[in-house]
Amino acid sequence: MDAEYNNDNYLPLPIHSPVNQQVSLVDDELTSIEVARQIAERNKHKEDWDETFQVCDIGRILDQYKRWKKELPQVEVFYAVKANALRPVIRTMAALGCGFDCASKNEIALVLSCGVKPDKIIYAHLCKMISHLTYARDNDVRIMTFDNEEELLKIRKIFSTARLVLRLKTDDKKARTYFGNKFGASTEYAKLLLAKARELGLEVIGISFHVGSGCPDIQSYAKAIEDAKTLFDLSDTVFGQECGFYFKLLDLGGGFPGSGEENNESPFEEVQRANRMYYHVGDGVYNSFTGVAVENAKYNPIPLEVCQLNKTPMIICNNI
């Protein structure tokens, strides 16, 4: 980001409070850690000095978006809100024309409140709560994923005009975060689900997959696309014609590497050749560090300052 950081304009409050999600301009030469140290220094004598805060470089997001459009110009970006749900981030992605991948009622509500149209949202949760599915229906968010028969029955009852995307299972055992044992249908089971969807009178518009995050094997992406193609090719078979499905959407999922320099990830430029954003969540210890248990993430906390509090050494880390 350009210009000068105005320390007087920053007021750290709980991360989900809309009043604290402010955008300030900083000098290009300042790093995120240096900005965080300035904020911590300014607030260390306040009553709420130990409130957590997040420093998010919007400029970095813009750089990664431009990089994506350069390498994969034919692929439309749908930003996963769970990555970073700060309103300035959502508004930035919306201004760029991105769609949004939402996994809950709250995420859908947030994106809609930023002026995004319902047809730019995919409700990407495979086991939706009935109240959340009802909310999606009432707000005309029609595109959503599924990978099991029970979900089809639920959607038929609650939102029969939804436009469905079938999620395929991927062979991503080499990924840092392995999804193949939790999500997705095999190609054979997928055929049964398509037949069931046809029986229920539901519309299936495409296929999705998600190669696990931190995947070092480029061929995992190619194999996932190959599996998806087998289902796309069904439209030319008797089975496909009987089901009446003519797919027009292929969802490449997420987990793409930011740089390829960490966690043995393949460089993004290599991944895009197989397929032909760098983020940080910082809203408290719980949400920041669930990645250790859920996604096998590794963090390297950097202390902003080592201070004395009642003669007891204390490190101020503030979720960096």
* Same-domain status, 134 and 31: no
The rounded percent of the chain whose pLDDT value lies above 90 is 32
Q: What are phi and psi of 173, to 5 degrees?
A: -65, -20
Q: Which of 292, 271, 270 minimizes the C-alpha distance to 281? A: 292
Mean pLDDT throughout 12-28? 55
**CB atoms inside a 10 Å sphere around CB 128:** 24
Q: Based on the domain organization, do 312 and 212 belong to the same domain?
A: no
Model confidence at 62: pLDDT above 70: yes
Cα(217)–Cα(222) distance, integer angstroms: 10
Over 80: is that where the pLDDT of 16 sits?
Answer: no
Check whether residue 137 and residue 176 sit in a common domain: yes
Query: Reading across the β-sheet that carries 143-146, which strands appear in turn?
Result: 78-80, 99-102, 121-123, 143-146, 163-167, 203-208, 249-251
Judgement on whether residues 169 and 40 belong to the same structural domain of the protein: no
Q: 291 is in which domain, residue-wise?
A: 7-55+282-316
Dist CA 3 CA 164 (whole Å): 45
More confident residue, 281 or 58: 58
> Are both 128 and 244 inside the same structural domain?
yes
Per-residue pLDDT of 27-36, as tens digits, reads 778 887 888 8
Q: Over 50: is that where the pLDDT of 183 sits?
A: yes
Whole-model pTM: value is 0.72
Average pLDDT of 110-128?
Answer: 95
2 in a structural domain: no
Asked if the structure places residue 1 within a domain, the reply is: no
CATH code: domain of residue 218: 3.20.20.10
Specify the pLDDT at position 280: 31
Backbone angles phi, psi at 14, to 5 degrees: -50, 140
- Statement to judge: residues 20 and 139 lie in one domain: no
What's the structural domain count of the chain? 2
Task: Record the tokens describing residue 202, joined without a space.
Answer: 């539901």
- On whether residue 217 sits in a domain, the answer given is yes
Domain membership flag for residue 260:
yes
